[in-house]
Structure 1
Amino acid sequence: MKNHVTAGVDGSPESRAAARWAAREAVLRQVPLRLVHAVDWPLDPVVPGIGRQDVDRWADQALAEAAQELHRRHPQLEVTTRCPTGRPAAALAAEAADASLLVLGSRALGGVVGFLIGSVAMSTVIATDTPVVLVRVADDPDGPGTGDGAEIVVGVDIHEAGDRVLAFAFEEAERRGCPLRAVHGWKMPAAYTYVPFFDPENERDIGRSVAHMVDDMLLPWRHKFPEVEVTSNVFMGSAGERLVHASHGAGLVVVGRRLRRSPLGVHLGPVAHAVLHHAAAPVAVVAHG
């Protein structure tokens, strides 16, 4: 059973913020926290004067310092550490296999808005089926502007089986006792591009139909989580842009990632890609079929 939260730790300010966020999440879920530092050896390119013992010592120190800090903040939380050897993305994905959630740090763009997604974080996101949350220093739960009760925003796609995405979002909202906002963007069918005299009423009819489909998609989840206050935001336009806009002031943004592989390998869709690079809140990426 997946009964713990895992956080990647490398001693950076971003990873410390991620560890604090993960600790708060583990307390909410009432599960242990596992801190992981992946040691990539041999170093490539090789760093002169640094041996294996130096790397291991530095990794152990980073883990110990993070664990000690979290013990002080959350004395009741069980914290364990692991230091696997291997490429960081592969090692973190392997560690996430038996976790309910993986939390990683990411650098911010423009001070407090947006993410700078490094190769390790991006590779890890697409290498695991476990939900992954990306956190910046600005998202530190003990930092300014991170009050409890902020709404959770979830991207909804009526064309995909999004049960895993909605389950994650509703469960998070229930744990936190916060509102949930579902966002869906739609576009006019391509054929309408060639219609010389377009009736605006058609657009309104399609918009109403899409809104009904979103409501139908949310209905069973409203019944399952009656305590969660849910609103929906359906509009014509880019879902990625609207989710990024909604991320300002949100406690978490939840987006889906398809599990299907393309001939070029696994990749993120345009909505998840936009949110990961521009959101102003922590982002959870949930893989779905």
Structure 2
Amino acid sequence: MSHVIAGYDGSSESERALRWAVMEARLRRVPLTVCHAWRWPYPISYIDHEGVAIVRRMGEHILDQGAALARDLAPGLTVRKRLKDGSAAPALLSEAVDAEVIVVGSHAPEELPAGSTALRVPAHADRPVVVVRSPAPRDGLVVVGVDGSAGADAALSFGFEEAALRGWRLRAVYGCWEPGAAPGGDLSLFGDEDELRRVCGAVLERAVAPWRVKYPQVQATTSLVLKSPREALFEAAEEATLAVVGARGTGVVESLTLGATSDALLKHAPCTVAVVPDRTR
């Protein structure tokens, strides 16, 4: 059954994520799954069965708290609990098979440790992951990174859907001042700014056009920026509620799990970030 899944560990970061997930599930009219992963914190050679039972009960208590908060926030919402043994990222991914969206919390950018759940889940998920960094206001702005790739089209699809569900505005941003961002890899465009604007502007408008038709209620604008995709998105993220990017763009090395721009936004953007995989790959 389709659902929204949220990771919860009792921290303030996971509480923000849970609040976002509750609203996500309500707007999508699907159940919410609250997932908590517990683990024995010592080497396997030091297992104490009574201690393991205590740690597991602590995990159950945290999960119960999360589910209770979700039900308080949305009394009519169907809330399911999933207690998993092990690391948080694999636990969430294993329970997200039928999920429409995965929602996780995040520390502030300067506090985000390498290997954190907020980085590992988007790197391996085959569905949209929302990494919540700040509360969602009533009136928001969705910024979507566009580069003409299939990944960017997936990001536009999710971005427009979120904007329509939440009544937010949307801005599609194309940072084209980078060799990998030029349509067809045509480096000659960088010798003529007017031609670069014309060609890349056409790519941007073509990418956004079908989504404007599908979601006419969304107030959508486009922004062509003569900066690198990363710079353009960081600049736009300063005033965004949600920044949406594809998991990979046009210039990515295939061996990378995430595109460079997606990875940078997850690590440094001040706002909530959604990473959307291209499921046609």
TM bracket, shorter-chain basis: 0.7 to 0.9
* 2:39 pairs with 1:40: yes
Task: For 2:249 and 2:229, locate their aligned partners in 1 and report how far apart those are by CA, in whole Å.
Answer: 20
Is the Cα contact below 8 Å between 1:174 and 1:228 reproduced in 2? yes
Paired residues of 1:39 and 1:56 also in contact (CA < 8 A)? yes
Change (3 A) 1:157 1:188: closer
Using the alignment, how far apart are the partners of 1:199 and 1:41 within structure 2? 57
> Cα RMSD between the aligned structures?
2.8
Q: Which residue of 2 aligns with 1:282?
A: 272
Q: Is the 8 A contact 1:131 1:285 kept in 2?
A: yes
**Aligned pair 1:74/2:74, yes or no?**
yes
Kept after mapping to 1: 8 A contact 2:175/2:233: no
Contact 2:178 2:228 in 1 (8 A): no
**1:246-257 residue pairs with structure 2 within 5 A?**
246-257=236-247
| Cα distance change, pair 71–237 in 1 and its aligned pair in 2 (3 A) | same
* One-letter amino acid matched to 2:90: A
* Paired residues of 2:109 and 2:269 also in contact (CA < 8 A): no
Contact 2:100 2:128 survives alignment (8 Å)? yes
Alpha-carbon deviations, 1:44-63, whole Å to 9, x = none?
48889782111211111111
Tell me which amino acid in the other structure corresponds to 2:4.
V
Mean Cα deviation higher: 45-54 or 277-286? 45-54
One-letter amino acid of the counterpart of residue 84, structure 1 = K
Match of 1:140 in 2: 135
Deviation at 1:249, TM superposition (A): 3.0
TM-score, normalised to structure 2, is: 0.86
Query: Which residue number corresponds to residue 228 of structure 1?
Result: 218
Deviations 1:109-167 (A, max 9, x none): 35xxx85564333222222101111113xx134xxxxx212110000111445332211
Residue 247 of structure 2 aligns to a residue whose secondary structure is strand
Q: 1:270 aligns with which of 260, 266, 270?
A: 260
* Residue number in structure 2 paired with 1:194: none
Q: Match of 1:130?
A: 127
Give the alignment of 1:141-156 within 5 angstroms. Answer: 141=136, 147-156=137-146
How do 1:1-289 and structure 2 match up within 5 A? 3-41=2-40, 43-44=42-43, 51-109=51-109, 116=113, 118-136=115-133, 139-141=134-136, 147-187=137-177, 189=179, 202-258=192-248, 264=255, 266-288=256-278, 289=281
Range 118-127 or range 167-176, more displaced: 118-127
Residue identity in the other structure for 1:7: A
Q: Which has the higher helix share?
A: 2
Q: Is the 8 A contact 1:106 1:117 kept in 2?
A: no
Question: Judging changes above 3 Å, is the alpha-carbon distance between structure 1 residues 208 and 242 closer, same or farther for their aligned structure 2 residues?
Answer: same
Maintained 8 Å contact 1:36/1:92: yes
Offset of residue 186 of structure 1: 1.1
Contact kept? 1:106, 1:118, Cα under 8 Å: no
In the TM superposition, residue 211 of structure 1 has moved relative to its aligned partner by: 0.4
**Change in CA separation of 1:44 and 1:263 when aligned onto 2, cut-off 3 Å:** farther
Distance of 2:82 and 2:140 partners within structure 1: 32
CA distance in 1, matches of 2:268, 2:231: 9
Q: Distance in 1 between matches of 2:158 and 2:190?
A: 37
Contact 2:142–2:168, Cα closer than 8 Å, also in 1: yes
Q: Which residue identity lines up with residue 152 of structure 2 in the other structure? A: G
Gaps of 5+ in 1: 142-146, 191-197
Contact 1:151 1:179 in 2 (8 A): yes
Letter in 2 for 1:154: V
Unaligned residue ranges in structure 2 (runs of 5+): 181-187
Deviations along 1:21-64, one digit per CA (max 9) or x if unpaired, are 11111112121110001233474488897821112111111111
1:152 maps to amino acid: V
Matching residue's letter, 1:108: A
Aligned length: 270
The answer to whether the 8 A contact 1:244-1:274 is kept is: no
Question: One-letter code of the match for 2:215?
Answer: F
User: Matched residues, percent identical?
Assistant: 39
Give the secondary-structure state (helix, strand or coil) at the position aligned to 1:37.
strand
CA distance in 2, matches of 1:226, 1:51: 57
